[in-house]
Amino acid sequence: MHWGDAQAVLFDLDGVLTSTAAVHMRAWDAMFRDCFAALGVAEPYTDAEYFAHVDGRSRVDGVRAVLASRGVVLPDGDPTDPPGTATAHGWGNAKNAVVEGFFAREGVAAYPGSVAVVADLAVRGVPRAVVSSSQNAVAVLAAAGYGGQFPVVVDGVVAARERLPGKPAPAMFLRAAQRLGVDPVVAAVVEDAVPGVAAAAAGGFGLVVGVDRGAGADALRGAGAHVVVQDLDELLR
């Protein structure tokens, strides 16, 4: 399926519509420095681990995956655990506190190419959704100037409420397609993370576009992307 044939488009948020993926990387680094110090983990956290274990996954899944790579297992705890509690949720909430501080101080920027693509879809009347593991998606969309552009948002809040498994499972994308009233086979997904691309491919979407913001074109294609671009404005050429 070609881009112009898509009857609906589902977008990831961080790293696709907004430049917030880099901010999340910094927040994970800051959180894991504190986490590893508290747990006595000597091996430092690296940016490569963001793409290997964190990118595209929920906060708690990212915490679990990175700690498991160090042979550390913490109890999951509860989603309401205060930041820094010795649980997966507690450290996930610590990361969220850090990233919210960054957003408050630095603001949220949208990629110009992404703004152009969303505007083009709106003019053509193509239904649009955001599918993001983030629990801050609605606030980030509004801060980036996308308010009202996406009638359907399936984010970490919705996933928790509806008990939808996170990416790389396809459930969140399939739920968004259902809410848009479109068959996945005639819809496109735009993702920058390997787990997200894998989720879209597993969901049977007709076109999976990988956006290489650092994950690597080969990794995105290997996960199931039909096409890989550096920026969304390439889709308008």
Whether 131 contacts 191, CB under 8 Å: no
Whether 56 contacts 12, CB under 8 Å: yes
Q: Give the closest residue to 145 by CA, choosing from 168, 169, 114, 191.
A: 114
169, with CB counted inside 10 A (0-12, 13-18, 19+), is middle
Residue 58 tokens, joined: 């929920």
**Which positions are annotated as active-site residues?**
12, 14
Q: How far apart are CA 177 and CA 19, in angstroms?
A: 25
Whether 101 contacts 90, CB under 8 Å: no
Residue partners of 27: CB distance under 8 A and separation at least 6: 95, 98, 99, 102
Q: Strands of 152-154's sheet, edge to edge?
A: 152-154, 128-131, 9-11, 188-191, 207-211, 227-229
